[in-house]
Homo-oligomer: A and B are copies of this chain.
Amino acid sequence: MSGPRFEPVRTVRAYERIVEQVEQAIESGALSPGQRLPSERDLMGQFSVSRSTVREALRVLQARGLVRSRPGDPNGAEVLPFSPDALQKSMASLARVEGLSLGELVQFRMVLDGSANLLAARLRTAGQLAEMQAAIERMREAVTEGYDAFSAADVAFHDAVARASGNKLIQICVEVVRSIVLGLVADRLADAPDREALMRRSIRHHEEVLAAVRDGDGPLAARLARRTMYDYYAGYVPAAERPALRALLDQPNAVPE
């Protein structure tokens, strides 16, 4: 005989309930970025828990990048606008724990950047095109200024493309993965002896990409973007991993070592 079927109850920690409530309030828009939560001492009243519990909940919310709290603030914790920081932290930690190789990261960038260019070629606005042009201009100026300025302009170009793709997810992932890759190779790029030649070649490549985006030739833009990325980073990727990168290029046999 089967009476009422009982299900195992899952004990839910008090601080988790608080996290849920606040999280939901933020996601539903009841709390919008810039607004402030009540102070911890107020919250302990509202939730009927101790301050320790409130604080543990706030720590979790803070770790997820949803709020920020500073001592001395006249109000409680501030609700933050979304930032990919938390995402980036998880992914950077993943990269270290899982031992993500530079090759995999670059490959992923090739995928994302290629697709972003494909979409940008078809969906870009005139203003976005101008931003890309301006970024290349800055890259040109920065050749003599040093690696940091060049890199910043380069980043601006790829960001403009990502925005033009019209897909926020692509935009965010581009940003996250790029920052990880740059963190891994920045010093090596900055110290490269043939730095200036590298920069000039990179600028030429970017111009080709831009031309394809301007002409609306998505597949070409994607192909060139992947090629640009490959040329720029392949030297830093262990030779054993390069074939996997070349698999994303369209004439893998035509690519010299």
Contact = CB atoms under 8 A, between A and B. Distances in A.
Interface of A: 15, 23, 26-27, 52, 55-56, 59-60, 62-66, 82, 84, 86-87, 89-91, 93-94, 96-98, 100, 104-105, 107-108, 111-112, 115, 118-119, 122-123, 166-170, 172-173, 177, 218-219, 244, 247-248, 250
Contacts of A93: 23, 27, 64, 66, 82
Contacts of A118: 247-248
Nearest to A241: B166
Contacts of A218: 247
Contacts of A90: 64-65, 86-87, 90
Contacts of A219: 250
A143 to B, nearest CB: 30
Contacts of A173: 108, 173
B94 A87 contact: yes
Contacts of A168: 98, 100, 104
26 contacts: A27-B93, A27-B96, A27-B97, A60-B63, A63-B63, A64-B89, A64-B93, A65-B90, A84-B94, A86-B90, A87-B90, A87-B91, A87-B94, A94-B172, A98-B168, A100-B168, A108-B167, A108-B169, A115-B115, A115-B248, A119-B247, A119-B248, A123-B244, A173-B173, A218-B247, A219-B250
Contacts of A244: 119, 123, 166-167
Contacts of A23: 93
Given A169-B177, A173-B173, 16 more contacts: A15-B59, A27-B96, A52-B52, A52-B55, A55-B56, A59-B60, A63-B64, A64-B89, A86-B90, A87-B94, A90-B90, A94-B172, A98-B168, A104-B169, A111-B115, A119-B248
A105 B172 CA distance: 12
Nearest to A91: B87
A94 B82 CA distance: 7
Nearest to A85: B90
Contacts of A86: 90
Contacts of A122: 247
A223 to B, nearest CB: 11
Contacts of A87: 87, 90-91, 94
